[in-house]
């Protein structure tokens, strides 16, 4: 059996510590990796040969209200279709954060009413929540999309977000779904270092894709267009996309 290359894991952990200072921990003996975000905690166990072989296993995952999110996190990781032999922790963390955000929104919407001030706050929150639960579609144009870490991050959207991405020159991202989850995903992506990151299109509707749910990566612009030509409004969505990216 080949020995793991510790330098790759060390580099990945160093990058994650820079991205999430003070929020990650790793025990090389047990190979337990933990990510903490306030009271939310993700506990993973890394295979002996990771990242050369195998993918992280979810030991536990909980939200801010100690909600058990393990099954949802495992299902979302499977939907990411992570490639064996590649670093995956950044994509898993981004996916988990999206699940926590959704879980927290659901918990807040079902919290009991209290004083008049609490009720007013609850009304204001419910209005924000209704807005965030509306459909949203965005088209993002990038000067380029090459870095594997950014490509994986783009695919690591919350389960309620679907979409399609195209790496290369230019890079293209199309996301649709719950408005709050879509905009959260865009904010996480925009926080990365980009040469050019432009939201070319935004609409309060939820586009459909040929591949169904989840975010999928394709190789060419023609494949992006083909993926949009689906459903009752597919032809219109295709035209609006082409206009947004300056092709039509």
Q: What is the pLDDT of residues 60-97, one digit of tens each?
A: 999 877 789 999 999 888 887 788 888 889 888 888 88
Q: Are residues 46 and 135 in the same domain?
A: no
Task: Give residue 31's domain range.
Answer: 6-105
Mean pLDDT of the chain: 85
Q: Are residues 176 and 227 in the same domain?
A: yes
Q: How confident is the model at residue 67, as a pLDDT?
A: 84
Nearest to 214 by CA among 116, 68, 76: 76
How many domains does one find in the chain? 2
Q: Are residues 235 and 160 in the same domain?
A: yes
Percent of the chain at pLDDT > 90 equals 54
Tell me: pLDDT of 105 over 90. Answer: no
Model confidence at 21, pLDDT cuts 50, 70, 90, reads confident
Q: Are residues 92 and 166 in the same domain?
A: no
Q: How confident is the model at residue 120, as a pLDDT?
A: 56
Q: Are residues 231 and 137 in the same domain?
A: yes
Whether residue 34 is contained in a domain is answered as yes
Whether residue 120 is contained in a domain is answered as no
Q: What is the mean pLDDT of residues 10-14?
A: 90
Q: Are residues 193 and 99 in the same domain?
A: no
Whether residue 112 is contained in a domain is answered as no
pLDDT in tens, 149-159: 899 999 999 88
Q: How confident is the model at residue 1, as a pLDDT?
A: 46
Q: What is the mean pLDDT of residues 153-172?
A: 93
Whether residue 26 is contained in a domain is answered as yes
| CATH code, 175 | 3.30.70.100
pTM: 0.58
Tell me: pLDDT of 239 over 60. Answer: yes
3-state percent breakdown (helix, strand, coil) of the chain, nearest 5: 40, 25, 35
E strands, 68-225, are: 135-142, 161-166, 171-178, 197-203, 215-217
């Amino acid at each position: 059996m080949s020995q793991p290359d510790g330098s790759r894991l060390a580099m990945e952990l160093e990058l994650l510590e820079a991205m999430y200072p003070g929020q990650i921990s790793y025990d090389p003996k047990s190979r337990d990796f933990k990510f903490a975000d306030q009271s939310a905690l993700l506990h993973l166990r890394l295979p002996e040969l990771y990242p050369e072989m195998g993918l992280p296993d979810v030991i536990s995952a909980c939200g801010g209200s100690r909600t058990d999110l393990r099954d949802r996190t495992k299902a979302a990781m499977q939907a990411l279709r992570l490639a064996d032999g590649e670093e995956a922790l950044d994509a898993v963390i981004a996916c988990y954060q999206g699940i926590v955000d959704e879980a927290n929104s659901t918990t807040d919407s079902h919290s009991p009413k209290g004083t008049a001030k609490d009720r007013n706050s609850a009304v204001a929150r419910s209005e924000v929540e209704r807005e965030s639960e509306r459909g949203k579609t965005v088209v993002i144009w990038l000067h380029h999309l090459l870095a594997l870490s950014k490509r994986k991050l783009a695919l690591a959207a919350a389960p309620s977000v679907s979409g399609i991405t195209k790496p290369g020159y230019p890079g293209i991202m199309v996301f649709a779904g719950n408005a709050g989850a879509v905009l959260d995903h865009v904010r996480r992506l925009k926080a990365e270092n980009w040469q050019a990151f432009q939201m070319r299109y935004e609409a309060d509707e939820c586009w459909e894709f040929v591949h169904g749910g989840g975010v999928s990566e394709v190789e060419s612009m023609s494949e992006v267009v083909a993926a949009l030509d689906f459903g009752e409004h597919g032809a219109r969505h295709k035209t609006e996309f082409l206009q947004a990216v300056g092709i039509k």
